[in-house]
Structure formats: structure tokens, C-alpha cells
């Protein structure tokens, strides 16, 4: 029995050595996301049974693989020795680009549809057999990023590896990693792995070209770059030699020379990381050269090298992304502070940072602000990155303030940083939110809000809008959209929509402004700002409207005339609602069963009781259309003059046209089988 187990063990070992499938290429071409693929190669001497094997992908930095992208490979085996499998995300595009059909296509979002920052594994059940990347680590900026490029297994790899090993791969991406192919099909070679084509001949492969070997005059050598050198079936060592002005070493930080040998082991295999740098003592110029990689019996390989020596002239670097600096005069200035950074090299004098009039700068947060600060270099003329704080000064009158912060020193052109701020006066409350709508057309359009101008506004840019999604809480001063600096007159309706085409299709007239801030979905809130302060609110900003009385999904909400603006308060009873899905299936507002009452808000309204319900009648005085809000069902409306003479009688459910009446005071009676109410109106 012991002999039987020994024989069985030997058979298993032989099988594991002679039948081996590895991942040999993963592609995300920069010019064609539909030409992505994964390549697997049987590098063993026997066929490989794929029963129970699968491919899996970890998306970005997710700790677990995506089960939706898992693909069982059982039906694609057995794989003959030396055969290559190619799995695409789009079979048609793969064949068009590479000239042959893939083994299979796993579709958009499938395991072969990686955008270059994912991790791919070949598994036997749930056990990793071979892997690319580190599960749980987003590939961006790592050794396993192949975004807009590819990753190819080195020809010297002779076995699968369940642990990510970076030096088994040549990886190219659009973030500066590698210098290999990025646009398909050039340089991409699905269906052909170099490790299969070498036979018993010596082969040497090298990594990507190296650039960016730069330094300032007198401060050489450059920082180090690296490239890989690998060889198989060697009969001697590999020699690596570099052009004049460059140096190489097998060790980071020491041992640099112009030529070195990579030692081959007894099996004829060699592998090394070569450190390369631009030599010190060079004059300002751009230097190019090569690393020549040779060995007996193999084709020579070349790695291109590039570096630049820059004159050590004085220089400053400014990094600034300043927000607008605002404060409300009634609450007191100065504004909250923002900051930027300044650094310098080879300086002989201090750096001066000067604020424009009405702004202040400091090197200390919340302290010591003034019109100018100075930053002194160290003995070598260097200013390390230094934070400078800036704010809008206190005590200003209401207005918009702009200027440039000047960063200067001897021998350097001044750097200018644009800065802007606002000192806001008290709000006038001249604008009010009167409606919100979530339309039924393609993409849930039109989406947006209606506003009404209560008083003439000379500069509409003092007003802005923020939306609050799903009860996410107040925007707290973060104004997402400011209106342009238009002049608008009292009585004007403003329509802010996500876009105009569908708005016009549904409403029959053009929207006033367009911005994605109003991409509202029927459960979102809106905050209206004036002078940086919230002056009106629609919706409870702390509550998702789903299931609430004010939900307007595929419907609308409209403010009752004579109410608002209400600051940060939302009063649901000051609004009327279509109810969720009221606009479903409608193509235009005019033909809708429950149309959005566009342009019907009035500053004044009469409130009457009808059948124990409050009815809003507006506007009053009225010029043409008298509106009834919250009226349930149809009533007969009769209009009399003060002598009792009947002038008009009509069945109405939402509005009554009184444009034919002369100016004066009239008596209106509304009635149905269950109720009656009489009230007065003034006809302008």
C-alpha cells in the first residue's frame, strides 16, 4: 500500500509539472475599450483539464471578487500543450482589431472587461491558481496598473503563481508606467506568447524604455530609473552596457558603472532589475542614449534612455486652487480662509507674497494676517513647500472683490494667483421657489424648478441653488449653481432645468437657464440662496421624500400663492402636490391629466373654506385667470357685480377665465351638491 501511494504521488507531481496554464496577457487598449482581452497559455507538455477552473476579477479596490464577472472555464478545455486561449469582452471588435476570432467573449462588465486597475485570477474552484495584481488594492499608481495599456507575462516565467509577483510581468499604462504598446493592435499579440516560441535557443527580453532621468546643473546624478533584463536557455552571462553620460548598477544607490554582467544560473536562466541614472557633472541639455543588452546566441535588445539637465536658475513654484472667499456683513468678516503653497529653488533673496487690496495673507492659520508676508530660503537657496493662508478682509461694504496675489523674488518672473470674494449684504428675499417637477420623458426629463421674482433684481448672480439628494442634509453654504448677472423684473417666472430640448417638448416654451444642479428625482430637496444665505427651501433636507406627503416622483409640487420665501423652513401645507407617478405616460404638460400649474403663483391669495377644506383663490386682484388650489372635483362658479347682476357662470375644477370682465369689484359664488361659498374679487 505504501508503494501505491508513492506511485500516485509521483503521478500527481508529474501532472502538475507537465500541465500548467498561466495568464500571459491582459489588455486595455487606450484607443479601444471594446478590444480588451485576457490571454491564457498552456506552458506545460500535456493537455490541461479546465474542469472546475474559473476566471475572476476584483474591481478597483474591492476586497472581494465580483461574482457577476466570474466565468466558469470548464467548457473550454482540455487545453492542448502550447495552446493559447483568448477571452474578449467583445468578439466582433476583437476579430476586427486583431484579425481572428477569440476563444470566447464574456461581454461588457465581464471578467475580460477590466479598465486597468483591477485584479485577475485563474482559480481552481475557490483556490487561486495564478494571479495578476493584489486583491483589495486599486491598481491605480501601482505596479499592477495597466490602464490604457497592457500587462504581458515575461518569457522567463515557467509556472503559475498564486501570489502576485511584479517582476514576472512587463506592464504598460498611460500614467507613465512602461513604454510599451498602448494602442491596439500595434504591439498587442493575443494568441502568441513569446515564452512558447523560444524553443531551446537563447532568448533575452528587456523591460520598457526609461525617461525622466533629470536633474539641475550641479545637483547630479539624477534619480534612478529601472528596467528588467531576463534570459532563458543561456550559454553565458548577459552583458548590459550604457551610452556615455548614463550609469547602471544591480544595486540601488551604489555600484554604478558603464557596463555590468547579469549572471546566468546552471539552468541557463538569468533575471535582474537594472538601476539606471544620468551621470553627474553634465551641462544643461537633453541627453539620449541606450542600454545595450547582449549574450551569446541571442538577439541583442535595446532600452532607450532619456534625461535632462536644467540650468540651476532661481525658480518658484506655486500650487493654488482657491475657492471664492465670502462672508455675510451682518455676521461679520473676515471670510473663512483658504490656502495655497509656495516653494523655490536656487534663490538669492526672500519670496514676497503680496495680497491685493481687500484681501489678507498669513503664514499662520487664523493669526497674523496682513497685506504681505515673506518666506526666506535656507542656505542652499531652497524654500520647501510652504502654506500661505488667504482671506477676504473684514469691514467691507457689500460687493464682489477680485484681484491677484503676487508671488515674487529676485531673478524670477512674478507668479499671479487670481482671488475672488464677496461681502454679502442682508438678503432682500426677492426670489421664491414656486415649483419643482420630475418629468415623464426619456431620462426622467424635464427636471427642474420654477421660481418667481417678488421684487426687481438688478444682479441675479447674487442668487444660487443647491440640491439635497435623498435627505442628505443642508448644503450649508455650498452653493452649487449661481445664476448669471442678469437683471430681472418683479413678476417674472424663472425656469431652471437640466436641459432645454425636453423642457420645450413637454412644456411648449423655453426654459430660462439650464444646469445639472436640478437633476432631482422626486425625493430631493432644493435650497435657494441670496448673498450666501438660504432664503427659501423646498422639501425637508434631512428626509428622503419617498413615501412622504411631499414626494413628487414623476410628478410635481407647487407653492400656494401668497406663501414664501421661508428661509430654511419647509412648510408642507404651503404646497400642493400631484402625487407620485402623476405624470407617467404623459407626453406634454398641456395634455396631462394633472398638469404642472406653471406660472400660476401669485403674491397674494384669498383663503376660503369649501366643504371643510381650505381653498386658495388667486391672484386677487386678478387680471385674467382666477386659480383654485386644493379644490376637489368640479364646482359651478357664478360671478355677479355688486348689484347682483350675473356676468359669468361656468363649471370649473382649477381655474376661471375672467378676462372679459371690466375692472371693478365682483362677487363669486362656487357651489356643488355638498357645499357653497361666496367671496369677493377685484378685477384689474
- In the chain, CATH 2.60.40.10 sits at 203-310, 315-422
Q: Between the ranges 14-23, 252-261, 426-435, 605-614, where is the mean pLDDT highest?
A: 252-261
- Phi, psi dihedrals of residue 333, rounded to the nearest 5°: -95, -175
Let me know if domain 431-577 sits in CATH 2.60.40: yes
Q: What percent of the chain has pLDDT over 70?
A: 96
Q: Is omega for the bond preceding 185 within 30 degrees of 0, making it cis? A: yes
pTM of the complete model: 0.54
Indicate the CATH number for domain 18-197: 2.60.40.1260
Where is average pLDDT lowest: 43-47, 385-389, 453-457, 618-622? 618-622
Q: 623, 577, 627, 574: which is closest to 600 by C-alpha?
A: 627
120-156: per-residue pLDDT in tens?
999 999 999 999 999 989 888 898 999 998 899 988 8
- Phi, psi dihedrals of residue 655, rounded to the nearest 5°: -155, 160
Quick one: average pLDDT of 276-300? 96
Q: Are 430 and 451 in contact (CB under 8 A)?
A: no
Convert 96-158 into a string of H (helix), E (strand) and C (coil).
Answer: HHHCCCCCEECCCCCCCCCCCCCEEEEEECCEEEEEECCCCCCCCCCCCCCCCEEEEECCCCC
* pLDDT score, position 199: 60
Per-residue pLDDT at 612 exceeds 50:
yes
* pLDDT score, position 5: 35
Q: Pairing state of beta strands 21-28 and 525-530?
A: unpaired
Other C-beta atoms within 10 Å of 204: how many?
A: 24
Q: Pairing state of beta strands 525-530 and 533-538?
A: antiparallel
Q: Are 581 and 499 in contact (CB under 8 A)?
A: no
Q: 228, 214, 223, 206: which is closest to 143 by C-alpha?
A: 228
* pLDDT score, position 193: 85
Q: 584, 577, 586: which is closest to 552 by C-alpha?
A: 577
Quick one: average pLDDT of 220-236? 93
CATH architecture of the domain formed by 606-683: Sandwich (2.60)
Q: Which residue has the cell 500516485?
A: 8
The cell numbers describing 512, all together, are: 430660462
Q: Residue 494 — left, alpha, or beta (φ > 0 → left; ψ -120 to 50 → alpha)?
A: beta
Task: Say how far residue 144 (Cα) sits from the centre of its chain.
Answer: 22
Radius of gyration of the CA atoms of the chain, in A: 37
Q: How confident is the model at residue 532 (pLDDT cuts 50, 70, 90)?
A: confident
Classified by CATH at the fold level, domain 315-422 comes out as: Immunoglobulin-like (2.60.40)
The cell numbers describing 362, all together, are: 498669513
181-190: per-residue pLDDT in tens?
678 888 788 9
Cα 192 to Cα 27: distance, rounded to the nearest angstrom: 13
- In the chain, CATH 2.60.40.3080 sits at 606-683
* pLDDT score, position 13: 36
Cα 250 to Cα 303: distance, rounded to the nearest angstrom: 16
* pLDDT score, position 6: 35
Q: 428: which residues sit within 8 A by CB, 6+ positions away?
A: 455, 457, 530
* pLDDT score, position 104: 94
Classified by CATH at the fold level, domain 203-310 comes out as: Immunoglobulin-like (2.60.40)
626-668: per-residue pLDDT in tens?
888 777 888 999 999 888 899 999 998 878 889 899 988 899 9
For the chain, give the number of residues.
684
Quick one: average pLDDT of 434-446? 95
Cα 425 to Cα 400: distance, rounded to the nearest angstrom: 11
Q: Are 35 and 29 in contact (CB under 8 A)?
A: yes
Where is average pLDDT lowest: 173-182, 188-197, 245-254, 576-585? 173-182
Q: Are 229 and 270 in contact (CB under 8 A)?
A: yes
Amino acid at each position: 500500500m505504501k508503494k501505491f501511494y508513492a506511485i500516485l504521488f509521483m503521478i500527481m507531481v508529474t501532472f502538475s509539472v507537465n500541465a500548467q496554464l498561466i495568464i500571459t496577457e491582459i489588455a486595455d487598449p487606450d484607443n479601444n475599450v471594446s478590444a480588451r482581452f485576457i490571454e491564457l497559455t498552456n506552458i506545460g507538455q500535456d493537455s490541461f483539464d479546465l474542469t472546475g477552473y474559473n476566471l475572476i476579477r476584483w474591481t478597483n479596490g474591492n476586497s472581494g471578487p465580483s461574482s457577476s464577472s466570474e466565468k466558469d472555464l470548464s467548457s473550454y478545455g482540455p487545453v492542448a500543450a502550447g495552446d493559447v486561449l483568448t477571452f474578449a469582452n467583445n468578439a466582433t471588435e476583437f476579430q476586427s482589431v486583431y484579425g481572428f476570432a477569440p476563444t470566447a467573449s464574456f461581454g461588457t462588465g465581464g471578467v475580460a472587461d477590466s479598465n486597468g486597475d483591477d485584479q485577475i485570477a485563474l482559480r481552481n474552484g475557490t483556490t487561486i491558481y495564478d494571479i495578476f495584481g493584489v486583491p483589495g488594492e486599486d491598481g491605480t499608481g501601482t505596479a499592477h496598473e495597466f490602464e490604457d495599456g497592457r500587462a504581458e507575462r515575461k518569457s522567463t516565467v515557467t509556472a503559475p503563481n498564486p501570489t502576485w509577483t511584479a517582476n514576472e510581468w512587463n506592464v504598460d499604462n498611460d500614467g507613465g508606467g512602461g513604454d510599451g504598446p498602448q494602442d491596439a493592435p500595434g504591439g498587442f499579440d493575443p494568441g502568441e506568447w513569446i515564452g512558447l516560441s523560444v524553443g531551446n535557443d537563447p532568448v533575452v527580453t528587456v523591460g520598457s524604455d526609461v525617461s525622466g532621468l533629470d536633474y539641475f546643473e550641479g545637483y547630479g546624478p539624477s534619480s534612478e530609473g529601472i528596467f528588467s533584463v531576463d534570459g532563458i536557455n543561456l550559454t553565458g552571462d548577459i552583458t548590459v552596457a550604457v551610452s556615455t553620460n548614463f550609469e547602471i548598477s544591480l544595486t540601488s544607490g551604489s555600484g554604478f558603472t558603464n557596463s555590468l554582467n547579469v549572471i546566468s544560473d546552471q539552468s541557463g536562466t538569468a533575471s535582474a532589475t537594472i538601476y539606471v541614472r544620468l551621470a553627474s557633472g553634465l551641462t544643461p541639455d537633453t541627453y539620449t542614449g541606450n542600454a545595450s543588452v547582449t549574450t551569446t546566441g541571442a538577439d541583442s535588445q535595446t532600452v532607450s534612455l532619456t534625461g535632462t539637465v536644467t540650468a540651476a536658475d532661481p525658480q518658484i513654484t506655486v500650487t493654488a486652487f482657491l475657492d471664492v472667499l465670502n462672508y455675510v456683513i451682518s455676521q461679520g468678516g473676515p471670510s473663512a480662509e483658504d490656502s495655497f503653497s509656495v516653494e523655490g529653488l536656487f534663490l538669492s533673496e526672500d519670496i514676497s507674497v503680496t495680497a491685493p487690496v481687500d484681501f489678507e495673507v498669513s503664514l499662520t492659520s487664523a493669526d497674523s494676517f496682513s497685506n504681505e508676508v515673506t518666506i526666506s530660503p535656507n542656505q542652499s537657496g531652497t524654500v520647501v513647500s510652504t502654506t500661505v493662508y488667504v482671506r477676504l478682509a473684514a469691514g467691507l461694504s457689500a460687493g464682489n472683490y477680485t484681484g491677484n496675489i503676487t508671488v515674487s523674488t529676485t531673478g524670477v518672473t512674478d507668479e499671479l494667483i487670481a482671488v475672488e470674494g464677496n461681502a454679502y449684504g442682508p438678503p432682500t428675499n426677492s426670489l421664491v421657489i414656486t415649483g419643482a417637477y420630475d418629468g415623464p420623458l426619456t431620462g426622467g426629463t424635464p427636471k427642474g424648478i420654477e421660481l418667481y421674482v417678488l421684487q426687481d433684481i438688478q444682479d441675479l448672480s447674487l442668487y444660487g441653488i443647491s440640491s439635497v439628494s435623498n435627505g442628505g442634509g443642508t448644503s450649508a453654504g455650498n452653493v452649487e449653481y449661481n445664476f448669471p448677472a442678469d437683471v430681472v423684473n418683479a413678476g417674472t417666472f424663472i425656469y431652471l432645468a437640466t436641459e432645454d430640448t425636453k423642457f420645450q417638448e413637454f412644456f411648449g416654451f423655453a426654459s430660462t437657464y439650464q444646469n445639472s444642479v436640478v437633476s432631482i428625482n422626486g425625493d430631493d430637496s432644493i435650497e435657494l440662496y441670496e448673498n450666501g444665505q438660504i432664503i427659501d427651501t423646498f422639501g425637508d433636507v434631512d428626509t428622503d421624500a419617498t413615501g412622504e406627503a411631499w414626494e413628487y416622483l414623476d410628478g410635481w409640487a407647487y407653492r400656494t400663492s401668497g406663501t414664501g420665501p421661508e428661509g430654511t423652513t419647509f412648510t408642507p401645507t404651503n404646497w400642493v402636490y400631484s402625487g407620485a407617478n402623476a405624470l407617467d405616460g404623459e407626453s406634454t404638460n398641456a395634455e396631462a391629466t394633472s398638469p404642472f400649474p406653471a406660472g400660476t403663483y401669485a403674491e397674494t391669495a384669498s383663503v376660503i373654506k369649501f366643504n371643510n377644506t381650505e381653498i386658495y383663490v388667486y391672484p386677487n386682484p386678478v387680471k385674467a385667470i382666477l386659480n383654485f388650489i386644493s379644490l376637489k372635483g368640479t364646482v359651478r362658479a357664478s360671478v355677479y357685480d355688486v348689484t347682483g347682476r350675473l356676468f359669468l357662470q361656468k363649471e370649473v375644477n382649477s381655474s376661471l377665465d375672467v378676462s372679459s370682465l371690466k375692472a371693478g369689484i365682483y362677487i363669486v359664488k362656487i357651489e356643488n351638491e355638498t357645499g357653497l361659498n361666496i367671496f369677493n374679487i377685484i378685477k384689474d
